[in-house]
Structure 1
């Protein structure tokens, strides 16, 4: 026989009415019926709140609404802040996205210096001004980040913990900056050379996505320091030749020979196109060596 599950006595009670009753109890416990008085006493006891000497509610309805608005504002910046990011140097920057306006969260400029509980945002409590400035500088400047589609909460929090404290401006040494610039130039000049030297050949250019090379290079450099000795990459056609040259270390002459079909007499291969081929190499970085396979 199926068990009958009894509904909670508060299941169908209006939330607004219950809130008003709770506020009355906080102001004057004798103003509510005994059963509700016992209920609220147990509720606060269970949450560890001190009841002695309380003469008025800790938060009124307005402050609760504003606190909820601040929490929603933080979530909104993390979700769509990238829509306001100034990533196009040829277009004027958007000063404020309509969906990030304070008015959408029942907040206004008079609340900027109010302190709110912010839970996992940098510190337990912060003013609205601090929250807004941090979110703007983290998600709405030259770097746009779209990550809230990630389903794993721990993965999302991992990204948040690395972006918000530094406001997406990590400390990078001059040597690291020069290396990033060098890899970016290598990627761009490689594509430019292939376009001019072999204009009629299919190659699946990385143009427009050149940043992939310095990003992969930075990941590869960090692997030995993290105790990683082997990395296997899998990727599509686009940019594969550039990755072979600048991440895997495949010699330029070998790549260009495939464009010219310049192979030694008697050379036997699988006949596959150049942008399908893989490669394996041992790379040495300041932190150690790394075996790479594509």
Structure 2
């Protein structure tokens, strides 16, 4: 009798815990009916074609999976050439002993991200050559931590398609050149006027400015309203002054050690590399609000704050799961979080 009572109590506690974390209907902040990524029918078709191609070409699918999971370990990312991995057990050719041919072009494009300009690999050796050129060069990708099958497949395919150089219009080339020259000029000015300043310059990473500019522009074109950015020290001041409208005079005043607040206020500022701002940028007539959050000395403290602020924006804008109506909107339609890590890993940090 007592055992049955205990079992019932345990079952009741278990049900309460399940109800806390798993909902079968819409609740505030979690809408099971909300479409998460793109068109549902289109997603189902992509996954169906992908699974059919895997069943028809199992050996090719296993080879592609192996490179998507482990190809980054053979990438040539050491610019000094000290560490050169030439082989790993997971990609040993002796594992993939069965020769195969992928004759169906549609199957090949379902399995692997091939652009229209790329020829279709057919034999095992062709596929190994293609995969090595994609995943084992100076740039690679590892995305196995992504839980969603369609998201993981999408980002892998997009990376694989980028192996062919995309066509960049002259207008975009000019825009990229302008942003990089601004960044370089800013560093040269600080070097000339404040030679002893520890400024964490953007020298050698000027391409970062082009990335941010194009990311902000595309965000505005997609009607995103808020972008929250967290990033390391390196190149931070360049981004603030050259792209985010931070007054250069204010930064120079701080560098010179002058007061940042009225003298009657007992306040102190933070170090130069922790500056932050919020500003409105305009692209093609559309306004985008960009927030660069205050920078801590350790990036692991930066990331959750940026995610939390993005979630707060989604809540206030009724974006994604916070939408009032069912089946309207997607995650990130109005608010986007961009997290940038530093290059300290090169120094073993």
TM-score band (shorter)?
Answer: 0.5 to 0.7
Q: 1:242 aligns with which of 238, 243, 254?
A: 238
Quote the offset at 1:252 in angstroms. Answer: 2.4
Q: 2:60, 2:102 within 8 Å by CA — same for their partners in 1?
A: no
Quote the offset at 1:206 in angstroms. Answer: 4.1
Q: Is 2:262 aligned against 1:271?
A: no
Matches within 5 A, 1:87-166: 97-99=87-89, 100-107=91-98, 111=99, 115=103, 120-122=111-113, 127=122, 128-129=124-125, 131-166=127-162
- Larger relative CO (CA 8 A, sep 6+): 1 or 2? 2
Q: 1:250, 1:279 within 8 Å by CA — same for their partners in 2?
A: yes
Quote the offset at 1:173 in angstroms. Answer: 1.7
| Partner residue, 1:57 | none
Measure, in 2, the Cα distance between the counterparts of 1:115 and 1:241: 53
- For the pair shown, the structure with the greater C-alpha radius of gyration is 1
Quote the offset at 1:169 in angstroms. Answer: 3.1
1:255–1:265 Cα change, 3 Å: closer
Give the total of aligned pairs. Answer: 228
Q: 1:291 aligns with which of 289, 292, 312?
A: 289
1:248 counterpart SS class: coil
Quote the offset at 1:239 in angstroms. Answer: 3.3
| Partner residue, 1:200 | 196
Q: 2:281, 2:290 within 8 Å by CA — same for their partners in 1?
A: yes
Q: 1:224, 1:288 within 8 Å by CA — same for their partners in 2?
A: yes
Measure, in 2, the Cα distance between the counterparts of 1:185 and 1:91: 30
Matches within 5 A, 1:57-76: 68-76=58-66
Q: 2:69, 2:142 within 8 Å by CA — same for their partners in 1?
A: yes
Q: 1:134, 1:167 within 8 Å by CA — same for their partners in 2?
A: no
Q: Deviations over 1:107-155 (max 9, x none)?
A: 5xxx3756486663358x9623553344234323443223333333333
Name which of structure 1's ranges 218-227 and 275-284 shifts more when overlaid on structure 2: 275-284
Q: 2:69, 2:144 within 8 Å by CA — same for their partners in 1?
A: yes
Q: 1:80 aligns with which of 70, 84, 87?
A: 70
Q: TM-score, normalised by structure 1?
A: 0.60
2:287 counterpart SS class: strand
Measure, in 2, the Cα distance between the counterparts of 1:114 and 1:224: 41
2:230 counterpart SS class: coil
Q: Is 2:204 aligned against 1:214?
A: no
Quote the offset at 1:220 in angstroms. Answer: 0.5
Measure, in 2, the Cα distance between the counterparts of 1:89 and 1:178: 28
Quote the offset at 1:227 in angstroms. Answer: 0.6
Q: 1:134, 1:164 within 8 Å by CA — same for their partners in 2?
A: no
Quote the offset at 1:292 in angstroms. Answer: 1.8
Name which of structure 1's ranges 213-222 and 149-158 shifts more when overlaid on structure 2: 149-158
| Partner residue, 1:223 | 219
